[in-house]
Amino acid sequence: MRSLAPLVLSFLKASSVAYAADAADTESNVISLSTDTFESFMSEHNLVLAEFFAPWCGHCKALAPKYEEAAIELKAKDIPLVKIDCTAEEDLCRSQGVEGYPTLKIFRGPNSSKPYQGARQAESSIVSYMVKQSLPAVSPVDGNNLEEMKIMDKIVVIGYFDSTDKTTHDIFETFAESQRDNYLFAAASDPAVAKAEGVQQPAVVLYKDFDEKKAVYDGEIDQEALLGWVKTASTPLVGEIGPETYSGYITAGIPLAYIFAETKEEREKFTEEFKPIAEKHKGSINVATIDAKMFGAHAGNLNLDPQTFPAFAIQDPAKNAKYPYDQSKELKADDVEKFIQNVLEGKIEPSIKSEPIPETQDGPVTVVVAHSYKELVIDNDKDVLVEFYAPWCGHCKALAPKYDELAGLYINNPDFAAKVTVAKIDATANDVPDPITGFPTIRLYPAGAKDSPVEYEGSRTVEDLAKFIFENGKHKVDAYTNAEQQQEDADVTTPPVAAPAEDETPEATKEGAVEHDEL
């Protein structure tokens, strides 16, 4: 299945960076390992970041200078960065489960590894992530090292708890363990340290290198509440959307407002103008600028004209909804604030991109568009199989004749056609209500359970797809077995008879003999 990510996140890709420096021409701080040196090196170091790469891989070449810069900085912290050429060390890479390039893994000894889950777009992201890995989930701090800890990363969360308050400390420790890949955590038990910071135990303070620099949590110390607060407090009032920040915004659980602008000066101006709005709606919506020259194509994904800037739109990932602001209007903060308020209050309908509804359904597969989706897929008592496809997708093209054949099993039988629909929708030209992660995506929406679609993950054969509909649909239509039975009946022929004598002409070849229809 081809990933949809390159389409949805196309704006995240800055113009391709050529790897100008030949690694062989300079002394590298990234250590090359082979099968012979891998195990001994991993045994000698407590924490290692390893890149499994191929020399021809474009993404590997783009990562190389950032990886080198990170290696220089992390070398001082005794965190080595290594690389393994999988074209030369095939067995080693296979044993480590490498399926694509580059694959980054964190090792704590030769037999203990986990995937690297941090950002790769900047050296600072790699350094920040690995520093977190080198520390305990919660680092102890006191008056001597507090100031150093507060600036150790962009976001540092410190709990101030009495040493006897084991319950609160345990909750904080568990929370920190679950979020250690995302934030740096510490704890201080000295009441004098808490007093110096202007808080009273128990308290949690988030330190950051932007906006007001410090946020104090005043709610109940429980994991769910802490997570919501940390996500909100760690997000700039008006941030910037880019490769390092996009994922965090999309997974924040609240809508995201985009301000598209082509110049740095414009983005800085909008940042200042929109800060009061962002402050007013903090926790309900995130607001961020985005470089329209570099990532303007993403405006099209939000149903904006990707050639007209500045522009504004709101995306609600949880509802898969988009709200583009009228591009014929000037972006005035007061007017946009009213637009934001109306979206949050549900007074504005989301924008839906749709192809025209077909006047007729000419083929065996029912063609669905955004404006007919509810009627044809949801608001009926049929089992509906839907293929979400892209016109450029090679796998979709290969599936097309088999999908037509599958649809024919139902459309040519009136009883089956009343119970099952086989449909398709171009997910690049129509907004669909559920997230699509790759093409083709095939889902069955069973009658009576449309809110619980079943995703197909089997082989793309007519038999297996029909079996999937039979096993997961409400109506239990077994179209494939029925078709097989009809074919078997059609293959029945006249029983063999003795061969005629040499001078005898078979009846079926005599002039005027009746031709029998094949049964």
* Tens-digit pLDDT profile for residues 279-316: 999 999 999 999 999 999 999 989 999 999 999 999 99
Inform me whether the pLDDT recorded for 471 exceeds 50: yes
Does 57 participate in catalysis according to the annotation? yes
Q: Looking at the domain 31-132, which fold is it?
A: Glutaredoxin (3.40.30)
Percentage of the chain exceeding pLDDT 70: 88
Does 86 participate in catalysis according to the annotation? no
pLDDT value of residue 509: 31
Banded pLDDT at 320 (limits 50, 70, 90): confident
Q: Catalytic residue among 137, 365, 385, 396, which?
A: 396
Inform me whether the pLDDT recorded for 504 exceeds 50: no
pLDDT value of residue 506: 34
Contacts of 419 (CB under 8 A, 6+ apart): 382, 383, 410, 447, 473, 475, 477
Q: Report how far Cα 305 is from the mean position of its chain's Cα atoms.
A: 24
Question: Candidates 3.40.30.10, 3.40.50.850, 3.40.50.450, 1.10.150.110; correct CATH number of 238-345?
Answer: 3.40.30.10
Banded pLDDT at 430 (limits 50, 70, 90): very high
pTM over the 0.85 mark: no
DSSP code for 308: S
What 4-7 contacts at long range (C-beta under 8 Å, 24+ apart), as own/partner pairs, is 4/390, 4/427, 4/436, 4/437, 4/438, 4/439, 5/437, 7/301, 7/390, 7/428
Q: What are phi and psi of 50, to 5 degrees?
A: -115, 135
- Pick 31 or 17 by higher pLDDT: 31
Does 396 participate in catalysis according to the annotation? yes
Burial code (b: 16+ CB inside 10 Å, e: under 16) for 33-57 equals beeeebeebbeeeebbbbbbbbeeb
Report the pLDDT averaged over residues 360-385: 97
Contacts of 90 (CB under 8 A, 6+ apart): none
pLDDT value of residue 484: 72
Banded pLDDT at 9 (limits 50, 70, 90): very low
Q: Catalytic residue among 8, 57, 152, 216, which?
A: 57
Alpha-carbon separation of residue 224 from 247, 390, 396 (angstroms): 20, 38, 41
Q: Catalytic residue among 4, 48, 50, 60, which?
A: 60
Q: Catalytic residue among 393, 399, 423, 483, which?
A: 393
What CATH class has 366-488?
Answer: alpha beta
Cis peptide before 440 (omega within 30 of 0): yes
Q: Where are the domains of the chain?
A: 31-132, 136-234, 238-345, 366-488
Report the pLDDT averaged over residues 114-143: 88
Order of strands across the sheet that contains 214-217: 139-140, 184-188, 155-160, 203-208, 214-217
- Residue 240: closest CA among 470, 11, 494: 11
pLDDT value of residue 490: 61
Residue at token pair 């001994």: 40
pLDDT value of residue 492: 54
Banded pLDDT at 510 (limits 50, 70, 90): very low
Banded pLDDT at 489 (limits 50, 70, 90): low
Banded pLDDT at 491 (limits 50, 70, 90): low
Q: Looking at the domain 136-234, which fold is it?
A: Glutaredoxin (3.40.30)
Contacts of 336 (CB under 8 A, 6+ apart): 274, 277, 312, 325
Check if 136-234 and 366-488 are the same fold.
yes
Does 93 participate in catalysis according to the annotation? no
